[in-house]
Structure 1
Amino acid sequence: MRCAAGLVLVLALVAAATASGADGPALVAKIRVPATSQPCAAAAAGRFVWVSTFASSSLLRIDPRRNVVVGRTPIGSGACGLGAGAGSLWIEDTSSATVSRVSIRSAKRVAAIDVGSLPYDATFGFGAAWATVHGDGSLVRIDPRRNRVVKRFPLPQAIGVVAAFGSVWATGSNGVVRVDPATNAIVAHIPLENAGWTAAGADAVWITTQTGVSRIDPTTNTITATIAIPGPLGDPAVVGGAVWVPRVAANRMAIVDPATNAVTRTVKAGAGPFVVTEVAGEAWVPSWHGADVRRFRP
């Protein structure tokens, strides 16, 4: 869901009550959201952090200086994965078979783009929005000038997508594909059973599976490490140089040190953490089965 070469956002962050250190990540804030809304994923854009809600067909706007929800934008149904670019938020609406485009300036939905059955993830990178479409088995590229799909790549049971290392990486039942956005060509295929959600760090792409997370070297397009983590696993992110992997049923996050390719600690999260997003050096984790969004400082 995240673009490693994405927007630069400067946020005025509130001071943490407890500084992080030897005791590990500090919980900075628990931001209340409407009950039963199923907050899913976050993205930073403009002065706000935006959170999709799977059950209430809306995009929440959070002021990170006050840790409160300050606005709500109606979008499609089953919203989760999102990215920011071209002055907009791009949110996949799983149940509506669309990607919603929301203006960062006006906070209004300006387009609903048909992408096919069951979009699962979305991001923005290299001048385009990208979405995986699980039901149709494809990765799609959306032109922000025309608000429509301009290229479709076959990808059976497509799940996750991330933009990094000059490429777009997407997962499906047959593994990971790497797309060159300059040529619209698939330039690599990395076999990986049960490839799931995606993240990117300084020198690796990280892919979840049913039993852990795999590390891909973008210089060789090979898997160089596999770290066992009990599932089910959600959508990870690289925060503070470490990989934060949601353990959805356990209400915890496993933190992987890329230097050792090992889980170094686990962190208690809210109910059903599904997606982690890096925002200004912090981890933002909506509680998909709860009614809050949690901020952690590494």
Structure 2
Amino acid sequence: MKRTAAEILREYGPFRGNDNVHGVTYDGQHVWFASGDKLNAFDPASGKLVRSIDVAAHAGTAFDGQHLFQIAEDRIQKIDPGTGQVLASIPAPGAGADSGLAWAEGTLWVGQYRDRKIHQVDPQSGAVLRTIESNRFVTGVTWVDGELWHATWEGDESELRRIDPRTGEVLERLEMPPGADVSGLESDGGDQFFCGGANSGKVRAVRRPNRGAPTRSSSEKRGTSKRK
């Protein structure tokens, strides 16, 4: 298992009126983050907040190329990012104990915090298709180039972990510095992760380890499966 210190490239926020950051996702242009009673979008180039949607936003956030998905207590809501309208909802597998959320392979991937699990979920019915066990609390989930990563946060320690999606074995660990808690995780489809900073009100960009091979741009990847 490879273990290295995480390289923080940039910090965004805190954003006025948003004291907490929960779920995080990226639509190819803006970074979205959940702050309890709103979904907020900012420009990662300028760091400026560009819009907010008034919707329950308590945990993980995901984007499928067209719609936002947001954990709201014991539900996962499907949201039109243009209008802010909630189009549909399905039960969340943890019934209120869910954390991270990601989109890949046409399905949702839902982290359960204290249960230390990641569920693959049918976005139409909410049915659990399979479950991956972790040995740490799960606070964020993302797929990129066939790699499954999840964030952990226990006590004063936070990490980004690459795991084997079949066995849950930890393959790589990026250790965050003390105080840099991770409450949500998303890849930009390229060389960085966006990490929710919990009650710091910040979002941090962290360098994704170089695999030594070129990757497609994030704009080419948005709306397609992150697992190849």
Fold shared, TM-score > 0.5 on shorter chain: yes
- 1:291 corresponds to which residue? 201
3-state SS of the aligned residue for 2:83?
coil
3-state SS of the aligned residue for 1:277?
strand
- Quick check: 2:103–2:109 contact (8 Å CA) kept in 1? yes
Distance in 1, Cα, partners of 2:71 & 2:51: 19
Distance in 2, Cα, partners of 1:57 & 1:108: 14
Deviation string 1:239-275 (CA, Å, 9 cap, x unpaired) is xxxx53446xx214xxxxxxxxxxxxxxxxxxx3333
Name the larger-Rg structure.
1
- In structure 2, the CA distance between the partners of 1:296 and 1:106, relative to structure 1 (3 Å rule), is same
- 1:184 corresponds to which residue? none
Query: So what's the TM-score if we normalise by structure 2?
Result: 0.63
> Is 1:120 the counterpart of 2:99 in the alignment?
yes
Which structure has more RCO (C-alpha within 8 Å, separation ≥ 6)? 2
- 2:179 corresponds to which residue? 251
Q: Where do 5+ consecutive residues of structure 1 fail to align?
A: 1-23, 154-167, 177-191, 228-242, 253-271
Give the percent of matched residue pairs that are identical in Structure 1 and Structure 2: 12
> Is 1:32 the counterpart of 2:10 in the alignment?
no
3-state SS of the aligned residue for 1:40?
coil
Q: CA deviation at 1:290?
A: 1.5
Counterpart amino acid of residue 56 in structure 2: G
Deviation string 1:71-102 (CA, Å, 9 cap, x unpaired) is 1112225x221221151111112xx3111212
Counterpart amino acid of residue 277 in structure 1: E
Distance in 2, Cα, partners of 1:29 & 1:138: 27
Distance in 2, Cα, partners of 1:133 & 1:297: 25
Taking the TM superposition and a 5 Å limit, the aligned residue runs for 1:1-298 are 25=7, 27-35=9-17, 37-53=19-35, 56-76=36-56, 79-85=58-64, 87-93=66-72, 96-115=73-92, 117-118=95-96, 119-132=98-111, 139=119, 141-144=121-124, 148-149=125-126, 151-152=127-128, 170-171=131-132, 176=133, 193-194=135-136, 196=138, 205=148, 216-217=163-164, 221=167, 223=169, 243-246=173-176, 250-252=178-180, 272-279=181-188, 280-296=190-206
- Quick check: 2:122–2:128 contact (8 Å CA) kept in 1? no
Q: Where do 5+ consecutive residues of structure 2 fail to align?
A: 1-5, 209-228
- 1:14 corresponds to which residue? none
CA RMSD of aligned residues (A): 4.0
Q: CA deviation at 1:213?
A: 7.8
Distance in 2, Cα, partners of 1:213 & 1:48: 22
- 2:218 corresponds to which residue? none
3-state SS of the aligned residue for 1:75?
strand
- Quick check: 1:36–1:290 contact (8 Å CA) kept in 2? no
